[in-house]
């Protein structure tokens, strides 16, 4: 957390009715600074992003910044940072207010641990895909309750990197949120060309080739390329172009040449990556294809491919990825589960040693353990009946078999046979309760009789005759 005592904004109130008090600066980027602020109206901490002074002098930038804030506020997802307010300072600098998150960025985690396990990597990537899906599908902007756009506006992040992915530890697992959504779109094309090196210095490493070539028709597949770069780094601890430990010091021009013309190295060829599956490597390398049409068509297609290579001990769902419940969780034994290609329902199996049909095991998904469990429905209780003809005469054997079949076909027969026993037990309980109440009543009456009639009355103490007081003596005169 970076603080700056020389920052003139720290210690100031901004917003309507001086609502937000800026306490300290917690981040800085090419577009603006992020401050930890106190919402004095609600009494809670928030994150406030303020546009840089150099970019705030342009009126078109003001309008685009406001439009981007509205777009991000319309993205209501558990995996996108929530924007709650937008305003302009007294000096005319626009800002917007976000939720204050407690945790760390993926960039901080990778700088500490270098590489991540396969399971955690896939879980983080799938949650990022869940957040990107809503943006790529498009949102409609509302102003004062009225929809201002007829067609959904599709949003491309274009600045996806580990420092813009935030990890929040919770009781249910690790929650992933995307930060700075769509901020790269706030600048016009001329500004992107003139400030190419300085502006993209921190994000050149994850930019898609079409983004570096300043193409106008950029869609969600550019974010898939950036996510492929992040996947490669999480699994290998390196980059796919051989920069190695000097990757963070590599210039933007070198990254641009690598993204547009250099082929990425195989993921499994990296040190300590030979254990990775061929399927997982193919998914990552497909994301890094130079041609957008050769990548995955959508982030949900990428998410499904990643979940398909998860170890069987984790099932097909991880962490907070529950946007669409699996068929096992909806109807594990219904007819709809027959169409499930991943886990087809096993047919009924007839045991060779008996004529009974074995009940197929029902598949239940445990959300806490993230793994399927097996559950077998209990059979009817027929073991109490002796159906072995060698232990009794043939008549008793046939009668026992008939009774066994009757109880299996109609379980109410056994229940009806227990009704007299329940009735006798209830009568015995009522009789016992009546006897106890009678004894208590007799004891109470005897106690009252003893207290009022047999207990000797105490006599009041006799008073001895008191000596009459002496008459006062007359006073003698002087």
Same-domain check for residues 187 and 298 = yes
Residue 337, domain member (yes or no) = no
Same-domain check for residues 264 and 144 = yes
Q: What is the mean pLDDT of the chain?
A: 74
Same-domain check for residues 235 and 250 = yes
Taking the C-alpha atoms of residue 424 and residue 61, their distance in angstroms, rounded to an integer, is 88
Residue 310, domain member (yes or no) = yes
Three-state secondary structure call for residue 423: helix
Radius of gyration of the chain (CA): 40
User: Does the annotation list 185 as a binding residue?
Assistant: no
Same-domain check for residues 72 and 126 = no
Which is more confident, 457 or 43? 43
Contacts of 302 (CB under 8 A, 6+ apart): 125, 129, 224, 227, 283, 287, 296
Taking the C-alpha atoms of residue 257 and residue 272, their distance in angstroms, rounded to an integer, is 27
Phi and psi at 470, nearest 5°, equal -70, 140
Asked whether 234 and 115 are in contact (CB, 8 A), the reply is yes
Whether the per-residue pLDDT at 200 is higher than 60: the answer is no
Of 295, 321, 347, which residue sits at a domain end?
321
If you ran DSSP here, which 8-state letter would residue 385 be given?
A: S
Same-domain check for residues 232 and 300 = yes
Task: Give which of 230, 246, 183 is closest to 31, Cα–Cα.
Answer: 183
In which element (H, E) is residue 118 found?
Answer: helix 118-137
Whether the per-residue pLDDT at 358 is higher than 70: the answer is no
Whether the per-residue pLDDT at 237 is higher than 90: the answer is yes
Whether the per-residue pLDDT at 55 is higher than 50: the answer is yes
Same-domain check for residues 298 and 170 = yes
Same-domain check for residues 244 and 133 = yes
User: How many folded domains does the chain comprise?
Assistant: 2
Our answer to whether residue 7 is catalytic in this structure is no
Taking the C-alpha atoms of residue 175 and residue 168, their distance in angstroms, rounded to an integer, is 5
Residue 39, domain member (yes or no) = yes
Same-domain check for residues 130 and 161 = yes
In which element (H, E) is residue 45 found?
Answer: strand 44-51
Sign of CA dihedral 371, 374, 377, 381: negative
CA atoms within 13 A on the CB side of 147: 7
Catalytic residue selected from 82, 151, 159, 223: 159
**Which of 56-60, 117-121, 301-305, 474-478 has the least mean pLDDT?**
474-478
Structural domain span for residue 168: 102-321
Same-domain check for residues 267 and 193 = yes
Of 59, 80, 100, which residue sits at a domain end?
100
Structure confidence at residue 195 as a pLDDT band (50, 70, 90): very low
Q: What is the pLDDT of residues 76-93, one digit of tens each?
A: 899 999 999 999 898 888
Whether the per-residue pLDDT at 132 is higher than 80: the answer is yes
- Residue 399's pLDDT is what? 59
Three-state secondary structure call for residue 251: coil
Phi and psi at 239, nearest 5°, equal -110, 160
Of 288, 321, 354, which residue sits at a domain end?
321
List C-alpha distances in Å: 165 to 10, 132, 181, 204, 477. 26, 12, 10, 16, 117
Same-domain check for residues 25 and 148 = no
Mean pLDDT in residue range 334-357: 40
Strand bridging mode 173-178 / 165-170? antiparallel
pTM: 0.62
């Amino acid at each position: 957390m970076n603080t700056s005592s020389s920052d003139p904004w720290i210690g100031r109130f901004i917003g309507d009715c001086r609502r937000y008090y800026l306490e300290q600066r917690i981040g800085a980027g090419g577009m603006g600074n992020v401050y930890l602020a106190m919402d004095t109206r609600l009494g809670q901490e928030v994150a406030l992003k303020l546009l840089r002074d150099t970019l705030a002098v342009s009126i078109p930038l003001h309008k685009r910044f406001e439009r981007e804030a509205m777009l991000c506020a319309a993205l209501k997802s558990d995996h996108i940072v929530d924007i709650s307010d937008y305003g302009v300072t007294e000096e005319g600098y626009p800002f917007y207010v976000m939720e204050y998150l407690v945790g760390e960025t993926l960039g901080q985690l990778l700088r500490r641990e270098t590489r991540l396990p396969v399971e955690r990597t896939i879980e983080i990537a799938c949650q990022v895909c869940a957040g990107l899906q809503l943006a790529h599908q498009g949102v409609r902007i509302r102003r004062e309750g009225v929809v201002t756009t007829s067609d959904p506006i599709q949003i491309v992040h274009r600045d996806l990197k580990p420092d813009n992915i935030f990890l929040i530890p919770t009781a249910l697992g690790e929650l992933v949120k995307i930060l700075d959504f769509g901020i790269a779109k706030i600048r016009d094309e001329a500004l992107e060309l003139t400030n190419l090196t300085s502006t993209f210095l921190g994000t050149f490493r994850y930019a898609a080739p079409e983004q570096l070539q300043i193409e106008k028709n950029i869609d969600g597949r550019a974010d898939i390329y950036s996510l492929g770069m992040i996947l490669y780094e999480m699994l290998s601890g390196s980059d796919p172009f051989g920069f190695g430990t000097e990757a963070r010091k590599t210039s933007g021009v070198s990254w641009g040449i690598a993204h547009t013309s250099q082929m990425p190295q195989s993921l499994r060829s990296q040190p300590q990556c030979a254990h990775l599956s061929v399927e997982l490597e193919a998914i990552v390398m497909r994301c890094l294809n130079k041609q957008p049409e050769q990548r995955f068509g959508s982030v949900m297609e990428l998410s499904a491919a990643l979940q398909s290579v998860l170890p069987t001990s984790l099932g097909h769902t991880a962490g907070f990825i529950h946007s669409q419940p699996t068929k096992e969780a909806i109807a594990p034994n219904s007819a709809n589960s027959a169409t499930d290609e991943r886990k087809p329902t096993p047919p009924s199996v007839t045991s060779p040693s008996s004529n009974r049909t074995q009940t197929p095991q029902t598949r239940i998904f445990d959300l806490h353990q993230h793994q399927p469990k097996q559950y077998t429905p209990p059979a009817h209780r027929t073991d109490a009946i002796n159906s072995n003809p060698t232990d009794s005469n043939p008549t008793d054997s046939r009668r026992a078999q008939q009774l066994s079949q009757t109880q299996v076909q109609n379980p109410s027969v056994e229940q009806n046979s227990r009704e007299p026993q329940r009735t006798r037990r209830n009568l015995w309980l009522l009789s016992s309760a009546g006897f106890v109440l009678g004894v208590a009543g007799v004891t109470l009456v005897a106690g009252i009789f003893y207290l009022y009639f047999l207990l000797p009355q105490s006599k009041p103490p006799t008073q001895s005759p008191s000596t009459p007081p002496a008459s006062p003596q007359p006073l003698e005169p002087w």
